[in-house]
Amino acid sequence: MLAEDVEMHSRIEMLKALNLATEEERRMIRALGKLRNVLVHNVKQTDFKFSEFLKDKGRRDQFVKDYGWWLADTVDADGKKISKADWILSVPRAVIWMSVVAYAAKTATEKIRQEIDREQKEAINGLRRRLLIEHLERNGPPERDGGVKSQG
């Protein structure tokens, strides 16, 4: 299977080459992979807590940047406006999940849009062919010398 044979970095570069992910989305995917590696490859992480993971200001800022790409600068939380950063850091697990779902939804929406565009082009081309056939059936083929056929 291709996914098993290709390193994560290369898969993310493929997303870029195929125009399937923006820089922000690719950064989120890389961050998710790094977090996964911290959790999976370190046996000490059996009691992982985001509160501990996000103690460092630099890590908090990076987390907001990595996972907040899809959010406005302020978020409506229970009827009050709070900063994107405060909201992300208050529910980090949910934000990771929502970031992945937002990317998946965007990708699926783009796929549907491309399919609709393809179907529209096919329909327009079909209509053009039909109109040309009807025109030729009514008027015959154009004259070879470029002149206009007289309507006798």
Least reliable range by pLDDT among 32-36, 37-41, 58-62, 76-80: 37-41
Within 10 angstroms of residue 67's Cβ, the number of other Cβ atoms is: 24
Question: Considering only CA atoms, which of 30, 40, 97 is closest in space to residue 66?
Answer: 30
| Rounded Cα–Cα distance for residues 8 and 11 (Å) | 5
Tell me, what's the pLDDT at 78?
A: 86
Look up tokens 């040309």; give the residue: 132
Question: What is the distance of C-alpha 126 from the center of its chain?
Answer: 31
Specify the pLDDT at position 142. Answer: 85
Residue type, 146: G
Looking at residue 123, its amino acid is A
When pLDDT is averaged across residues 134-146 and rounded to a whole number, the result is 84
Kindly report, residue by residue over 91-117, the tens digit of the pLDDT.
999 999 999 999 999 989 988 988 999
Rounded mean pLDDT, 5-16: 83
Share of the chain above pLDDT 90, in %: 59
CA–CA distance, 54 with 117 (Å, rounded to integer): 44
What's the token pair of residue 108? 């699926």
